[in-house]
Amino acid sequence: MRCLYVDLDGTLLGPGASLLRDADGAFTLDGIKALQACDRAGVEVVIYSGRMQASVREDARLIGQSAYIFELGCGLMVDGELEWLTGGIEPGPEHGSIFDQLAATGAPQALLNRFAGSLEYHTPWSVGREVSHLFRGFIDLDEAQSMLNAGGWEALRLVDNGVITEHADRFPEFPRVHCYHLIPATASKVGAVARHMQNRGYTREDCIAVGDSREDLQAADAVGCFWLVANALERDPTLVEEIRGRERIRVAEQSFGAGVYEAVVTTLATRAAD
């Protein structure tokens, strides 16, 4: 094992986005122990998150790592070198940020109009983003993509990045509330993971990933084993069907940081035995 790709919210971070709180809100060091185990084994840790770059950069600095993936794979930073993985759409003085360019297409407002009452911007986290338009709500993704395609926005896709609890009470009529990112269709977490692996010279069997959302799950196509933390299924039972019959996916018995620690130590022990 040479690299761990780990999501932040709902995975390494516990309730309230705390590294030091477990599923019950009690103080825990499990997430830190997972990072320590990686450090002792010489395993690189790469955060891959839907958060904006400024937030992920500070978290990467906090854990002493020089590579990270932000805004659902739209951007990859490796040793101070930034690469946009957005299909040729890049920020610049003429067109502004990628976020501004997506807004100019009219697609974000079209989604809000089509799903009025079921979709809204995920404030305050939707503010200040460089690439993705971040929403919260409960909608049919296939319907949303069909709308985008019919409107001439085939180059964009709406991504489900997991169940949220922040401001979920704004939609009391829905069984759960998800966060959604509108991003360039070519961008993805798995694409960014694969690009980082190529950059480092890692093979599939060198790497594992841990996450809690459908978008995280796609990393199973690139790494040797993908681990879903237990709280992911507790929050969204429909993920059971999503993973049924899929190879290279395991479900941790533990939640949040404890689930990450379980994935790390289990993998390290298995590799040592081999």
Q: Which of 184, 207, 222 is the last residue of a domain?
A: 184
Same domain, 201 and 179: no
Look at the chain and report how many structural domains it folds into.
2
pLDDT digits (tens, 9 = 90+) for 97-148: 999 999 999 999 999 999 999 999 999 999 999 999 999 999 999 999 999 9
Residue with tokens 């069997």: 205
Q: How far apart are the first and last CA of the chain?
A: 12
Asked if residue 93 belongs to a domain, the reply is: no
Same domain, 193 and 180: no
- CATH code of 34's domain: 3.40.50.1000
Give the pLDDT score at 247: 85
CA distance linking residue 147 with residue 124, whole number of Å = 26
Rounded to 5 degrees, what angle do the CA atoms 191, 163, 212 make? 50
175 is in which domain, residue-wise?
98-184
In this structure, are 193 and 261 located in the same domain?
A: yes
Last residue of a domain, one of 162, 184, 206: 184
CA 138 – CA 141 distance, rounded (Å): 9
Sheet holding 119-121, edge to edge: 119-121, 133-137, 177-184, 156-164
Q: Can you tell me the distance from the alpha carbon of 233 to that of 243, in angstroms, rounded to the nearest whole number?
A: 10
The residue among 149, 184, 219 that closes a domain is 184
**Quick one: 13 and 62 in the same domain?**
yes
State phi, psi for 216 to the nearest 5 degrees. -60, -40
Provide the pLDDT for residue 11.
97
Same domain for 65 and 197, yes or no, is: yes
Which parts of the chain register pLDDT below 70? Answer: 273-274
Tokens 């101070």 locate to: 80
Q: Give the C-alpha separation, 65 to 107, whole Å.
A: 35
| pLDDT for the residue 60 | 98
Measured between alpha carbons, how far is 115 from 137 in angstroms, rounded to an integer? 9
- Give Cα separations from 57 to 63, 80, 94 (angstroms): 10, 10, 26
Kindly state whether residue 166 falls inside one of the protein's structural domains: yes
Q: How many CB atoms lie within 10 A of CB 211?
A: 31
Q: Are residues 109 and 158 part of one domain?
A: yes
Q: Could you tell me if residue 16 is inside a domain?
A: yes
Domain assignment present for 90? no
